[in-house]
Structure 1
Amino acid sequence: MTTMRFFAAARAAVGQDEVTVDAATLDDALQRVPATDTDRWTALQERCSYLVDGVTTRDRSTPLAGVATVDVMPPFAGG
C-alpha cells in the first residue's frame, strides 16, 4: 500500500489531503484516486511532478513496489 499526498490544486481536485492505494505503477495509482472533481484531476495529472519516496519523477510507469509515499506536486505560481 502506498500513501499518496496531494498539494495545492491537486488537493482541491481530489478533495482530500491523502489517500492510500494498492497499485503496481504510478499511473495505476493515479487512476485509483477517488477525486471529487474528476475532470480537473484528469487534466492536472499531466502537469504534475511526483515525488516517489522523495525522488522526483514525471514517468508515470514508475513501479510502486515497496514505495511508502508519493507526493503529487502540481505546478506552483512562479515556476
Structure 2
Amino acid sequence: MKVRYYAAASSAAGLGEEQFQLAEKATVADLIQAILAVERPKPPEGTPPLHQILSRSSFLLNEVVVRNQSATVKAGDTVDVLPPFAGG
C-alpha cells in the first residue's frame, strides 16, 4: 500500500510517500507500527519526531477518514497521514 505524508509528517518521515507490504487483514494500527519500525534520519530542527506526529494525526484510507485504527488495509490502498494544522 502507498502511504503519503503531508506537512510535518513529511518532514519527520524524511519523504513524501513510501510503500509498505503488510500481511493480509492488516489494520491501520499495524501500518502505523510498520511506519514506526522504519529507521529514519533525525527530523529537521523544530519538527517533532514521527511517533509524536502520528499519535496526533488523522488518517485517510482511500480518501475516506479513518475513525478506527482497526480498519483493514490491503495491497493497492492509499493511506494519507494528515498532521494537525492551524488556519483555514
Matched, 1:32 2:34: yes
Gaps of at least 5 residues in structure 1 are none
If the length of structure 1 is used for normalisation, what is the TM-score? 0.83
4+ residue segments displaced more than 6 Å: none
Distance (Å, rounded) in 1 between the aligned partners of 2:41 and 2:70: 24
RMSD (CA atoms): 2.0
Match of 1:69 in 2: 78
Count residues in correspondence.
Answer: 78
Deviation at 1:58, TM superposition (A): 3.8
| Aligned residues of 1:52 and 1:67 also touching (Cα < 8 A) | no
- What is the Cα deviation at residue 20 of structure 1? 0.6
2:21–2:75 CA contact under 8 A, matched in 1:
no
Aligned mates of 2:61, 2:2 — CA distance in 1: 10
CA distance in 2, matches of 1:57, 1:37: 28
Which residue of 68, 74, 79 corresponds with 1:59?
68
Consecutive unaligned residues of structure 2, counting only runs of 5 or more, are none
Is 1:11 the counterpart of 2:10? The answer is yes
Check whether the contact 1:53–1:67 (CA below 8 A) recurs between aligned residues: no
Identity %: 35
